[in-house]
Copies of this chain bind each other. A is one copy, B any other.
Amino acid sequence: MAAPAKNKIFWGSLVHSKTLDELEYLHDTAVAVDAAGKMVAIEQGAGDVAKAVETLLPRLGWAEADVDVVKAKDGQFFFPGFIDTHLHASQYPNVGIFGNSTLLDWLNTYTFPLEASLSDPAKARKVYNRVIRKTLSHGTTCAAYYATVDVASTNLLADLCLAAGQRALIGRVCMDQLSPAYYRDESPAAALAATRASIAYIESVDPGMKLVRPCLTPRFAPSCSGPLMRGLGALAAERPDLPIQTHISENKNEIALVHELFPPSSTGAADDSYASVYDAFGLLTDRTILAHAVHLGEAEADLIATRGAKVSHCPCSNSAITSGAARIRWLLDKGVCCGLGTDMSGGYSPSVLEAARLAALVSRHVAMGGDEHAKLTVEEVLFLATKGGAEVVGLQREVGGFAVGMDWDVQLVGLGTVDAEGGVEGVAEGTEEDGNVDVFGWESWPDRVAKWVYNGDDRNTKKVWVRGRLVHERIHS
């Protein structure tokens, strides 16, 4: 599917987040993207594609023969690719399988056995290829992946992301305690050595970390001994170019466990909060992605804001395995940067659009608890899915919106148009190729976007590009 790198001009309607609560609609707009995948010019109101091309070519010094023109159909729009700020590639086969469990029994019953089994390279290839294709098909242009403890298959995940063209953070999972003997690092030293080995490999296959980058990944505090946490903190200081990802405050029993395992007397932490444990080990930084953050205390959230650490909100997972309802408005009001995570397989859905939808619903459940202000709008959940997510993974200068100098990590979205007899224009009955978004014709652009957020699925993501490269395309796009 990879086209040879060529200059491109994209033409049509563009929609992206201007701010947390405002979408910008750019119609009749042309975007010139160079062979390296960077936006080099944006021309609004060109009138038609021919005029836009005519204006842009001489300005950019491009010859017509060297340019591919990609035109959105009427009603379609370009939208920034989604950023999935938290998911476990290795748990993908278990999506939807969690019964009535909660975090700690879910880990032992469903999760550790599957993760351990991925040291089989054939199985890892099957699972990782599938999760990459699946998430790309849902418009996820960048994913912050947890792999497993195993270095070889973690490195394979990086190889497969490179081959498929998906931007990714790749985390070899560090865990040297409180998991079954068949699935953990043998010692802090072994965990650190394995982490360094995976970092070195990933840097060797993608020099300059243009597409994939290693991510320091202490699974979560209960899985890591003090010495391992200390070692990872030192490594984080040694490599200020690497992101860090972990979990925080997902489940009340987990929090109790952290209190028990890491009393302030053992870590030198300022207080007994979960965030302070990471902070004491040098792991609460402005490069740190904290998944969940459901049950944070006031001072703890303030500490996270002060350190500039980021939160990955995973509403699907939090509801599915009964963790709780994260207070995202409260975090945003504190200035904490938030994005969305599918958290497969705690979450069942591979779709960041579904995560956005569920973020809206969960915010309404928080509102029902008494704080009407908690409700997130369509505009806000789309911000979390794109610009917010980009900042969470440290790529806000590269991706998340349309601007000269940013990379073309973009999806083309198309919705269905209902005809007079109640069919869909251009779609054979029995295919439902345009999915479940039905446009009747009288809807405003914001209404169409709301319909997409609430009923859209991968059928509406017609094409996906990462750094200008076409990485997914529906047959009927």
Chain A positions near chain B (C-beta within 8 angstroms): 92-93, 95-97, 99-100, 122, 125-130, 132-134, 137, 319-320, 322, 324-325, 348-351, 358, 360-361, 364-365, 367-368, 375, 377-378, 418-423, 428-432, 436-438, 440, 442-443, 447, 450-455, 457-459, 472-475
Contacts and interface: CB of A to CB of B under 8 A. Distances in A.
Closest 10 A/B residue pairs (Cβ): A129-B422, A96-B454, A130-B422, A348-B454, A96-B451, A430-B475, A319-B361, A322-B364, A93-B440, A96-B450
Contacts of A452: 96
Contact of A129 (B421, B437, B440, B455): B421
Contact of A418 (B100, B122, B130): B130
A379 to B, nearest CB: 10
B447 A97 contact: yes
Contact of A133 (B350, B351, B422): B422
A474 B134 contact: no
Contact of A455 (B96, B137, B319, B450): B96
Q: How many copies does the complex hold?
A: 2
A137 B432 contact: yes
24 contacts: A92-B438, A95-B451, A96-B437, A96-B455, A97-B450, A97-B451, A125-B421, A126-B418, A126-B419, A129-B423, A134-B438, A319-B361, A322-B368, A322-B375, A324-B368, A348-B454, A348-B455, A350-B436, A361-B361, A365-B365, A430-B472, A430-B474, A436-B457, A457-B457
Contacts of A451: 95-97
Given A126-B418, A325-B365, A350-B436, 10 more contacts: A95-B455, A126-B419, A126-B420, A126-B422, A129-B421, A319-B364, A322-B368, A358-B361, A431-B474, A436-B457
Nearest to A365: B365
Given A132-B422, A418-B126, A99 B430 contact: no
A458 B351 CA distance: 16
A350 B351 CA distance: 18
A459 B459 CA distance: 10
A428 to B, nearest CB: 6
A105 to B, nearest CB: 13
Contacts of A322: 364, 367-368, 375
Contacts of A438: 92-93, 95, 130, 134
Nearest to A92: B438
A360 B358 CA distance: 13
A442 B422 CA distance: 41
A127 B438 CA distance: 10
Contacts of A423: 129-130, 133
Contacts of A436: 134, 349-351, 457-458
A42 B421 CA distance: 39
B458 A375 contact: no
Contacts of A125: 420-422
